[in-house]
Structure 1
Amino acid sequence: MAGIGPGPLAGQLLADLGADVIVIDRAEAPADKTDVNRRGKRSVFLDLKSEEGRSTAQALINRAGIVIEGFRPGVMERLGLGPDDLDETVIFGRITGWGQDGPLSQSAGHDINYLGLTGALAAMGTVENPPSPPLNLVADYGGGTMFLLLGILAAVFERQTSGKGQVVDAAMVDGVSAMMGLIHTFNARGKWSENRASNLLDGGAPFYRCYRTKDNLFMSVGPLEPQFFALLLEKASLPAEHGMDQNDPANWEERAELYAQAFTRRTQAEWSEIFSGTDACVAPVLSMIEAAAHPHIAARKTLVEVNGVLQASPAPRFSRSISTEINTPRAVGADTADIRKELMRHRKPND
């Protein structure tokens, strides 16, 4: 079902891997080559308020066997497209921020709100400023898209045994909370402080944060393991004895200032050359345009241009299976006639 955010990305990732993904759209629109989430998909325009539109949508979903929707709970039911309106074999992927039940299930929200409720957002950012939202990568796409895909693929696997579909309730608050297993472990062991930028992975450690360079750019520094930390100290001409008590938070604030001073002595390009090919776990912080030109990203063709639009190549990669070619998004509703013909060919006598 057409929407924004995590649902369209889920469809894109499946289409990248070769799935026939059809978007049910409520209006027609010209092709937009910049709408990356629509690449590789087909589109059908249906008036879901009409009986013909609803019946066509039902037939299309039943034939597909999987549907993805991101509406508030109850909307699909009111459209006559809820789980009870479809074949029992259909896997019904429902992706929302709050989930299908609970006090907030009918409330509006966005990534930052879902992230805020899980405890994750409170740990992001600096001490002096409010928490910093990590784009919409964590709740929408991490806790949402990826858990939806996990649930759908698990349901497909289970359907091979049961012969039945089921509802996948992918709530972003659930997914984000599930991703915080390591942080919950730290907390349970008394190794986590609720003060931002004072912990191992939130920028508190001087060996896990970003530093400004001489040319006002940044380097990402993250040698958690002692052998890698030793390389950082060596390459940055920092005191080797810091390796003796690397994980003692009592030293972190003072050492962070020292390390910050050290990194301002060279440019980002100079530091990149110094650390290139080492295990010091230091890398430049690049813009999206710069990332595409980086030798490693370029060698793997991780980012490519398609008709002038920079975008990611299909992921993950497989040893035998080959992902589909990236196709520029077609016009919204462009495949309506062809899809209707396909449905007619596959109609059962009693349909």
Structure 2
Amino acid sequence: MGQPHHHHQPLHGITVLDFSTLLPGPMATLLLAEAGAEVIKIERPGNGDEMRSYTPKFGKDSVNFALLNRAKKSIAIDLKSVSERARLEELVRSADIIVEQFRPGVMQRLGLDYETVSRINPKIIYCSITGYGQSGPKAQIAAHDLNYVADSGMLALSTGADGAPVLPAALVADIAGGAYPAVMNILMALQARAQSGLGCHLDIAMADNLFTLMYWGLGSGFSAGQWPKRGKELVTGGSARYQVYRTSDNRYLAAAPLEDKFWTNFTEIIGIPQEELAADDQQAIARVASVIAQHSADYWLEKFKGREVCTGLVADLEDAVTDPHFIGRGLFTQTLDDGRGGSIPALPVPICSVFRHIQAAGAPELGESNAALIGEL
């Protein structure tokens, strides 16, 4: 099935006003833009979104900004100025979606809160992304991804060799707790509006949404009082069947032979009778680790080749992007131009190819759409 024409994109004709900065909101509106929505980024004059200033650079702005804000438009406007803010009224009146991630109360002080906006546009879907939500004792606390992961109990689950929590490699709260739930709820709100004709206010709390990712720990704790112990559970380092093992050449194997059929194959290949691994989890981990450490990664990959063992090499990111599987899947076929003759692959997003742009548009210059959308200031 070929790529669609632009008017076949599911969000074609939907207008989004994006007041967000940095990661959660811009990631959410990137997904909406990729599915065909017109996203208008509202930025402060002078510097715009703080992420523009990050390094490394890609053209005039940072590569982070370019990846997250492709295919959007930009308006530079001082939201603290009543006269300048008034120029947004027609856009607010005609928009379908507003995305903002200020602390609770900020948009109200600007006269752009849901209650005010919905009076002039009852169809507006208003998505607020915050760390702790619109209410509750922590609603006004300043925090970042690491704080939300720590507060939710997630950070304590995985530990290093010294028993201390390990920093997550991904900004899981911003993306899995913020951007993705925002998009899911916006799409549901669009469907609800198609039936009722009315919009709504979406309260997306990144810390709240992390608990969903720990369903297994909640289940054990609530039902049996068996709350997860730090680094001791099946998927957090407490089992030989779900573990990272160092090889003799200081590379690593990710071994996940959880089911008995995979575990049988795995133990047979490494030459350890299963009964010798049944008594104690820590002893089993140490025994397997000692065997894996005797040979190189290539040796083990060759031994495991063609066998169902759910085990493979821990790839560096640089190697992963050249993996023939991901290349064959077309993850990096879209490109971004920096306006100066350079280009890089666009950020792969979880939007199926039948809905995406054929070619990724670049990120906007600060305020480039002022004249077209709200007139010169």
Name the TM-score, length of structure 2 as normaliser: 0.82
Deviation digits for residues 279-326 of structure 1 (CA, Å, limit 9, x no counterpart)? 3111221121111111211211324564443553232325x4344422
Q: Pick from 84, 107, 110: which aligns with 2:144?
A: 110
Return the alpha-carbon distance in structure 2 between the equivalents of residues 27 and 322 of structure 1: 31
Alignment RMSD (CA, Å): 2.4
1:35-50 superposed matches below 5 A = 35=65, 36-50=67-81
1:137-152 superposed matches below 5 A = 137-152=171-186
Q: Pick from 336, 355, 363: which aligns with 1:329?
A: 363
1:289 and 2:318 matched: yes
1:207 and 2:241 matched: yes
1:208, 1:221 within 8 Å by CA — same for their partners in 2?
yes
From the superposition, tell whether residues 53 and 215 of structure 1 become closer, same or farther in structure 2 (CA, over 3 Å).
farther
Q: Pick from 340, 344, 366: which aligns with 1:309?
A: 344
From the superposition, tell whether residues 120 and 43 of structure 1 become closer, same or farther in structure 2 (CA, over 3 Å).
same
Return the alpha-carbon distance in structure 2 between the equivalents of residues 112 and 271 of structure 1: 36
1:33, 1:309 within 8 Å by CA — same for their partners in 2?
no
1:314, 1:323 within 8 Å by CA — same for their partners in 2?
no
2:34, 2:351 within 8 Å by CA — same for their partners in 1?
no
**Worse-superposed segment, 47-56 or 207-216:** 47-56
2:123, 2:198 within 8 Å by CA — same for their partners in 1?
yes
Return the alpha-carbon distance in structure 2 between the equivalents of residues 17 and 274 of structure 1: 44
**Worse-superposed segment, 57-66 or 264-273:** 264-273
Q: Pick from 70, 73, 98: which aligns with 1:67?
A: 98
**What's the secondary structure of 1:121's corresponding residue?**
coil
Return the alpha-carbon distance in structure 2 between the equivalents of residues 216 and 19 of structure 1: 47
From the superposition, tell whether residues 89 and 211 of structure 1 become closer, same or farther in structure 2 (CA, over 3 Å).
same
Return the alpha-carbon distance in structure 1 between the equivalents of residues 159 and 128 of structure 2: 31
The structural deviation recorded for 1:72 is: 0.3
Return the alpha-carbon distance in structure 2 between the equivalents of residues 62 and 238 of structure 1: 69
Q: Pick from 222, 244, 261: which aligns with 2:256?
A: 222
Return the alpha-carbon distance in structure 1 between the equivalents of residues 103 and 276 of structure 2: 53
Map of 1:345 onto structure 2: none
User: Unpaired segments of 5 or more residues in structure 1?
Assistant: 342-351
Q: How many residues align?
A: 336
From the superposition, tell whether residues 43 and 31 of structure 1 become closer, same or farther in structure 2 (CA, over 3 Å).
farther
Return the alpha-carbon distance in structure 1 between the equivalents of residues 134 and 176 of structure 2: 18
Return the alpha-carbon distance in structure 2 between the equivalents of residues 15 and 300 of structure 1: 22
User: Unpaired segments of 5 or more residues in structure 2?
Assistant: 1-18, 48-58, 337-341
Q: Pick from 185, 190, 194: which aligns with 2:219?
A: 185
The letter for the 2-side match of 1:228 is: F
Return the alpha-carbon distance in structure 1 between the equivalents of residues 84 and 343 of structure 2: 36
Return the alpha-carbon distance in structure 2 between the equivalents of residues 130 and 204 of structure 1: 15
The structural deviation recorded for 1:123 is: 0.8
Deviation digits for residues 259-280 of structure 1 (CA, Å, limit 9, x no counterpart)? 1122223333443344355431
**What's the secondary structure of 1:169's corresponding residue?**
strand
1:28, 1:331 within 8 Å by CA — same for their partners in 2?
no
1:249-288 superposed matches below 5 A = 250-276=279-305, 278-288=307-317
**What's the secondary structure of 1:254's corresponding residue?**
helix
Q: Pick from 95, 118, 121: which aligns with 2:155?
A: 121
Name the TM-score, length of structure 1 as normaliser: 0.87
1:339 and 2:373 matched: yes
The structural deviation recorded for 1:132 is: 1.6
The structural deviation recorded for 1:22 is: 1.4
The letter for the 1-side match of 2:24 is: P
From the superposition, tell whether residues 80 and 102 of structure 1 become closer, same or farther in structure 2 (CA, over 3 Å).
same
**What's the secondary structure of 1:42's corresponding residue?**
strand
Return the alpha-carbon distance in structure 2 between the equivalents of residues 148 and 53 of structure 1: 28
Deviation digits for residues 195-225 of structure 1 (CA, Å, limit 9, x no counterpart)? 3121111111111121112221211111211
1:78 and 2:112 matched: no
2:346, 2:360 within 8 Å by CA — same for their partners in 1?
no
2:156, 2:165 within 8 Å by CA — same for their partners in 1?
yes
Return the alpha-carbon distance in structure 2 between the equivalents of residues 210 and 242 of structure 1: 20
Map of 2:328 onto structure 1: 299
**What's the secondary structure of 1:146's corresponding residue?**
helix
From the superposition, tell whether residues 37 and 119 of structure 1 become closer, same or farther in structure 2 (CA, over 3 Å).
same
Deviation digits for residues 79-111 of structure 1 (CA, Å, limit 9, x no counterpart)? 111112211211110011111011111110111
Map of 1:238 onto structure 2: 272
